[in-house]
């Protein structure tokens, strides 16, 4: 059974400990001092009894209390039931009306606490609580002032309070716009994400850095996986996000969260710059995050570090010794060589950036990982970005909320406070927030719940309205005219490097004074989820030339309303973009997908040609419909379905889940595993 301390109850009731103890003793509770406890279940009864006694005493008490400036001449009955509320309020209105003119009007906003309210009315919180209790209103020092308390207080203070209810968003803005003092800012540790091509050693490097420190400090210690960890170096701590790769980085950005201060670009010395190395550079750049290069695997024979530096220079990452500004470190994650130097280089970059944070404001951070734990309920890891988090803090995280019941560091140790940049696991959430959600400490749990509910509602609304915020070619001109955009970000994916170059060059030429076309990423290959995330995070349009999106990428783009334009003629790309810039897009032909068919067997039949023994994965396939053949996301053929059969019969249509024989018009270079997409065009008028 839960218990509460006498002093807490006394504060809540607004009477002294001594008074409460004597009351409790007279009621038969065995309490001795302020630290004695009473069962929670009894508290209700005690409250009622004491309130009744206080009121009784008040009736007999005819002497006013000059010291407190509190007038208690108007007795207001408690509000025992909502039905009675109207009645009470009418009485209140009538009584106040008489003295209205004499009353001073003070504006009070919903959600200021009783303490703040007391300050406004120039009395002590204790006096105010006591007076409120006498009027039958229970309030503690941290209670938010609601309309009822405001009304009752009018009679206590003989003042008129104009109660201004707040929208959840306003409360939130208040918190977000908390005044800050520039002098309060202090240096803070950097938060680092490791990126680079697959197999270049990202995971090994993360592990090596972590192990090198753990074994030193706590032999045999196991770190918890909480999504991030902190390493202490003699020159200062560094926080590493545990999810390497640009997907995680950009997914967070797509959600509006910027957690990473520095990107470590891992390049394997024996492999050099690879497609994902370049992709990582583009992702980091799109997020405006500086890059520190870590050349890894220097233990390997036949490595050419100079060549890597030269290649990186072409991507504007020139080392300092060559007159550039990029910090380089050479390491071997496997043999743990150069790790200390890498840490120093990170801290050097931190110094250059003068990373600072304000510990004196309300706690704030970003969720980087969350899960539902069988034992502990909803658990989340966050990086603190402002203030100091403390046990007991009420908070809003995305559209969920809670009260911090425990703070754990990356070693799984319970801590009291979490400071800026620390990764910390928290327990006490009402449900699981999403990675990238903002975490904000608010005044109390009620406020937290209020904001979270309002946010849920808002989230639903914005989800429905989302299309308007994304950039589309159709709407481009309007957005330029409204001054909403000055740069049109594009991601270009094509089947060969020549096309990537040709499209990039032509697009860069068609930009105007009003709007510049900015290519934030371009590479060879199909459109991936990572491309869509990047486009989403940077509000970009994706151009696919002779390539297709993967299923996941297409779904993500659809859900997030990211515009993806697929072309097979360069002239069309340029024309479309020109027309969009000028606001002259013709009615567009929108491709509507019919279905997807997988080639499972390739059969050569004399005279009939090559027949694809196929299976309809989704949608359907129709005879004579338009079709394209896709191999590894690259379009190999575009044309028509020449013949369609089920067993020996010609059929008009085959639905998903069935097998069929397909012949493509004038095309025979088919391989097992190829995908046939069928589609038709629908004309959509341009909206103004
Ligand atoms: P990731 O895909 O970038 O996370 O790469 P991993 O960390 O999984 O490493 C890929 C492979 O490279 C593994 O077999 C590692 O053991 C190896 N590797 C990583 N770092 C080094 C290194 O410094 N030297 C050598 N020789 N091998 C390494």
**Which atom of ligand 1 approaches the CA of 335 most closely?**
23
Span from the CA of 307 to the centroid of ligand 1 (angstroms) = 20
The structural domains of the chain, ordered by start, are 1-62 (1.10.10.2480), 189-354 (3.40.50.300), 364-463 (2.40.30.10), 473-584 (3.40.50.10050), 588-684 (2.40.30.10)
Q: Is the CB of 332 under 6 A from ligand 1?
A: yes
- The pLDDT score that the predictor gives to residue 511 is 75
- The pLDDT score that the predictor gives to residue 9 is 78
Span from the CA of 335 to the centroid of ligand 1 (angstroms) = 10
Chain centroid to Cα 12, Å, comes to 37
Q: Is the CB of 297 under 6 A from ligand 1?
A: yes
Average pLDDT of every residue of the chain: 81
* Beta strands 417-418 and 423-429, pairing class: unpaired
Q: Quickly tell me which residue has 């028509």 as its tokens.
A: 640
Span from the CA of 326 to the centroid of ligand 1 (angstroms) = 23
429: number of CA atoms within 13 Å, CB side? 28
User: pLDDT tens for residues 158-179?
Assistant: 777 776 665 655 556 666 667 7
- Is the pLDDT score of 215 beyond 70? no
Span from the CA of 199 to the centroid of ligand 1 (angstroms) = 6
Q: Is the CB of 336 under 6 A from ligand 1?
A: no
Per-residue pLDDT band at 192 (split at 50, 70, 90) = very high
Contacts of 94 (CB under 8 A, 6+ apart): none
**Which atom of ligand 1 approaches the CA of 337 most closely?**
23
Is there a contact between 580 and 474 (Cβ–Cβ < 8 Å)?
Answer: yes
**Distance between CA 394 and CA 88 in Å, rounded?**
33
**Which atom of ligand 1 approaches the CA of 207 most closely?**
7
Among 196, 199, 264, name the best residue to mutate to test ligand 1's pocket (greatest count of ligand atoms within 8 A of Cβ). Answer: 199
| Distances 32 to 17, 26, 47 between C-alpha atoms, Å | 11, 12, 18
**Distance between CA 111 and CA 146 in Å, rounded?**
7
Chain centroid to Cα 321, Å, comes to 39
Span from the CA of 558 to the centroid of ligand 1 (angstroms) = 36
**Helices (H), ranges, 511-619:** 529-538, 551-560, 570-582
Span from the CA of 421 to the centroid of ligand 1 (angstroms) = 28
Residue with CA at minimum distance from ligand 1 atom 2: 199
Span from the CA of 322 to the centroid of ligand 1 (angstroms) = 28
Span from the CA of 201 to the centroid of ligand 1 (angstroms) = 4
For the chain, the distance separating the N- and C-terminal CA atoms, rounded to the nearest angstrom, is: 66
Among 334, 335, 337, 341, name the best residue to mutate to test ligand 1's pocket (greatest count of ligand atoms within 8 A of Cβ). Answer: 334
**Which atom of ligand 1 approaches the CA of 296 most closely?**
23
Q: Is the CB of 546 under 6 A from ligand 1?
A: no
251 in helix, strand or coil?
A: helix
**Which atom of ligand 1 approaches the CA of 333 most closely?**
23
Q: Is the CB of 353 under 6 A from ligand 1?
A: no
Of 336, 315, 316, 314, which Cα lies nearest the Cα of 325? 316
- The pLDDT score that the predictor gives to residue 145 is 75
Residue with CA at minimum distance from ligand 1 atom 10: 199
Q: Quickly tell me which residue has 């009615």 as its tokens.
A: 587
- The pLDDT score that the predictor gives to residue 268 is 96
Phi-psi map region of 158: left, alpha, beta (phi>0 left; psi -120 to 50 alpha):
left
Per-residue pLDDT band at 60 (split at 50, 70, 90) = low
- Which range among 39-43, 169-173, 195-199 shows the weakest confidence by mean pLDDT? 169-173
User: pLDDT tens for residues 487-537?
Assistant: 889 999 998 888 999 999 898 888 777 778 889 999 888 999 889 988 988
Q: Is the CB of 600 under 6 A from ligand 1?
A: no
**Distance between CA 125 and CA 150 in Å, rounded?**
14
Phi, psi values for residue 412, rounded to 5°: 80, 10
Is there a contact between 394 and 442 (Cβ–Cβ < 8 Å)?
Answer: yes
**Distance between CA 384 and CA 426 in Å, rounded?**
11
**Distance between CA 594 and CA 627 in Å, rounded?**
9
**Distance between CA 360 and CA 444 in Å, rounded?**
18
């Amino acid at each position: 059974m839960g218990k509460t301390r006498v002093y807490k109850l006394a504060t809540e009731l607004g009477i002294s400990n001594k008074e409460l103890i004597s009351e409790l003793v007279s009621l038969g509770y065995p309490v001795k001092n302020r630290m004695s406890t009473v069962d929670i279940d009894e508290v209700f009864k005690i409250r009622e009894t004491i309130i009744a006694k206080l009121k009784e005493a008040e009736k007999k008490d005819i002497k006013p209390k000059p010291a407190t400036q509190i007038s208690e001449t108007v007795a207001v009955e408690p509000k025992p039931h909502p039905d009675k509320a109207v009645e009470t309020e009418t009485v209140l209105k009538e009584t106040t009306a008489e003295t209205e003119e004499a009353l001073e009007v003070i504006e009070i906003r919903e959600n200021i606490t009783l303490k703040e309210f007391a300050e406004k009315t120039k009395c002590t919180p204790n006096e105010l609580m006591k007076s409120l209790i006498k009027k039958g209103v229970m309030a503690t020092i941290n209670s938010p002032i609601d309309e009822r308390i405001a009304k009752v207080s009018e009679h206590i203070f003989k003042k008129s309070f104009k109660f201004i209810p707040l929208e959840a968003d306003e409360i939130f803005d208040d918190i977000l716009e908390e005044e800050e003092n520039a002098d309060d800012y202090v240096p803070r540790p950097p938060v680092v994400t490791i990126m680079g091509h697959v197999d270049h050693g990202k995971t090994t490097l993360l592990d090596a850095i972590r192990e090198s420190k753990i074994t030193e400090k706590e032999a045999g210690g196991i770190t918890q996986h909480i999504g991030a960890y902190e390493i202490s170096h003699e020159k200062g701590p560094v926080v590493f996000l545990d999810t390497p790769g640009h997907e995680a980085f950009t997914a967070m950005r797509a959600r509006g969260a910027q957690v990473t201060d520095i990107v470590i670009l891992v390049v394997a010395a024996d492999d050099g710059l690879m497609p994902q190395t370049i992709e990582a550079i583009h992702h980091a750049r799109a997020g405006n995050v500086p890059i520190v290069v870590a050349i890894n695997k220097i233990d390997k024979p036949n490595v050419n570090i100079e060549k890597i530096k030269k290649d990186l220079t072409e991507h504007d990452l020139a080392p300092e010794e060559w007159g550039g500004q990029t910090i380089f470190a050479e390491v071997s994650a496997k043999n743990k060589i150069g790790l200390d130097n890498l840490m120093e280089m990170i801290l050097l970059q931190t110094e250059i950036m003068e990373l600072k944070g304000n510990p004196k404001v309300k706690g704030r951070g970003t969720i980087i990982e969350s899960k539902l734990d069988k034992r502990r309920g909803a658990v989340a890891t966050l990086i603190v970005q402002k203030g100091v988090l403390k046990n007991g803090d009420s908070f809003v995280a995305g559209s969920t909320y809670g009260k911090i019941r425990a703070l754990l560091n990356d070693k799984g140790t319970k801590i009291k406070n979490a400071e800026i940049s620390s990764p910390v696991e928290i327990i006490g959430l009402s449900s699981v927030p999403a990675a990238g959600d903002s975490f904000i400490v608010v005044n109390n749990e009620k406020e937290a719940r209020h904001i979270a509910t309002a946010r849920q509602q808002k989230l639903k609304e914005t989800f429905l309205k989302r299309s308007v915020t994304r950039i589309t070619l159709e709407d481009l001109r309007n957005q330029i005219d409204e001054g909403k955009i000055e740069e049109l970000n594009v991601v270009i994916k094509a089947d060969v490097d020549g096309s990537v170059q040709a499209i990039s060059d032509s697009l860069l030429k068609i930009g105007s004074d009003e709007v510049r076309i900015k290519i934030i990423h371009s590479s060879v290959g199909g459109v991936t989820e990572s491309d869509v995330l990047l486009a989403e995070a940077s509000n970009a349009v994706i151009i696919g030339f002779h390539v297709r999106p993967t299923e996941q990428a297409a779904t993500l783009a659809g859900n997030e309303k990211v515009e993806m334009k697929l072309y097979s003629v360069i002239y069309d790309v340029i024309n479309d973009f020109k027309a969009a810039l000028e606001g002259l897009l013709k009615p567009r032909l929108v491709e509507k997908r019919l279905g997807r068919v997988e080639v499972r067997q390739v059969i050569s039949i004399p005279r009939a040609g090559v027949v694809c023994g196929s299976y309809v994965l989704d949608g359907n396939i129709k005879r004579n419909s338009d079709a394209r053949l896709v191999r590894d996301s690259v379009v190999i053929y575009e044309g028509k379905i020449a013949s369609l059969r089920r067993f020996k019969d010609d059929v008009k249509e085959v639905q998903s889940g069935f097998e069929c024989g397909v012949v493509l018009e004038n095309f025979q270079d088919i391989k097992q595993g190829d995908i046939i997409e069928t589609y038709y065009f629908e004309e959509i008028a341009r909206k103004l």
